[in-house]
């Protein structure tokens, strides 16, 4: 009798252990990372009046913009360049480009908005993608982590995006692997002399 009770107890204990081991663990929620948010980044073309000109070079980590002289000294910090095309590159109206974009290697100065960049020793390769049809301005405004960056800043291959307009939403990834999104908030002026744009940006810390 004692043997039977002992075997029954062992059976019950083993059953409990087996059930405990086979229970499904609760699903793990994805872990997202913090972001930096820059509400107003004001960009101007090199041809705008001196009071406004010269801040088309963006450091996406700090949200700072540089004049040409500063950008040249901090080449490794420049991820995005804004310009308004003219002449043979007139179709590049309101354009953002990677410092490594082919347009900045053109030795024909009329086809290169910033020919000085040819002499840069560091030209960061940033990739872009227009995701205006996939996201809304409100979603970008409200997000508190990099969840939408991980979802939408993928499969990027463009080295420049032209014909930006108010409401354009552009995903990017820097050479350092930082993903980001910016939204065109405002566009001023009608040509390269008066053109300026304002963007809001989020980027992984």
Q: What is the pLDDT of residues 153-198, one digit of tens each?
A: 999 999 999 999 999 999 999 999 999 999 999 998 877 678 889 9
Residue 3 has a pLDDT of 54
Residue range of the domain that includes 169: 35-204
List all residues 6 or more positions away from 171 whose beta carbon is below 8 Å from its beta carbon: 128, 129, 130, 131, 149, 152, 153, 154, 156, 179, 180, 181
180 vs 184: CA distance, rounded Å: 14
Question: Residue 147: pLDDT above 90?
Answer: yes
What are the backbone angles phi and psi of residue 132, rounded to the nearest 5°? -60, -30
Residue 110 has a pLDDT of 73
**Residue 48 — very low, low, confident or very high, per pLDDT cuts 50/70/90?**
confident
Say how many domains are in the chain: 1
On whether residue 143 sits in a domain, the answer given is yes
The tens digit of pLDDT for each residue in 90-107 reads: 567 889 999 999 999 988
On whether residue 23 sits in a domain, the answer given is no
Least confident window among 54-68, 101-115, 123-137: 101-115
Position of tokens 């040409």?
68
Residue 91 vs residue 59, higher pLDDT:
59
What DSSP character marks residue 158? B
Indicate the pTM of the whole model: 0.82
Residue 95 has a pLDDT of 92
On whether residue 17 sits in a domain, the answer given is no
On whether residue 100 sits in a domain, the answer given is yes
On whether residue 1 sits in a domain, the answer given is no
On whether residue 9 sits in a domain, the answer given is no
């Amino acid at each position: 009798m004692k043997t039977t009770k002992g075997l029954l107890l062992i059976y019950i204990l083993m059953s409990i252990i087996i059930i405990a081991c086979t229970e499904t663990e609760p699903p793990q929620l994805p872990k997202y990372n913090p972001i930096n948010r820059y509400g107003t980044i004001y960009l101007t073309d090199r041809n705008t009046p001196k009071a406004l000109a010269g801040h088309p070079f963006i450091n996406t980590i700090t949200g700072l913009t540089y004049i040409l002289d500063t950008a040249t000294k901090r080449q490794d910090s420049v991820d995005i360049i804004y310009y308004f095309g003219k002449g043979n590159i007139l179709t590049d109206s309101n354009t953002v480009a990677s410092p490594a974009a082919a347009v900045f290697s053109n030795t024909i100065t009329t086809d290169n908005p910033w020919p000085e960049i040819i002499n840069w020793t560091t030209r960061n390769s940033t990739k872009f993608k227009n995701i205006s049809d996939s996201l809304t301005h409100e979603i970008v405004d409200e997000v508190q982590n990099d969840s939408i960056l991980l979802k939408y800043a993928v499969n990027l291959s463009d080295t420049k995006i032209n014909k930006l307009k108010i409401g354009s939403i552009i995903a990017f990834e820097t050479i350092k692997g930082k993903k980001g999104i910016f939204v065109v908030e405002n566009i001023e002026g009608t040509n390269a002399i008066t053109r300026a744009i304002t963007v809001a940006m989020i980027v992984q810390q």
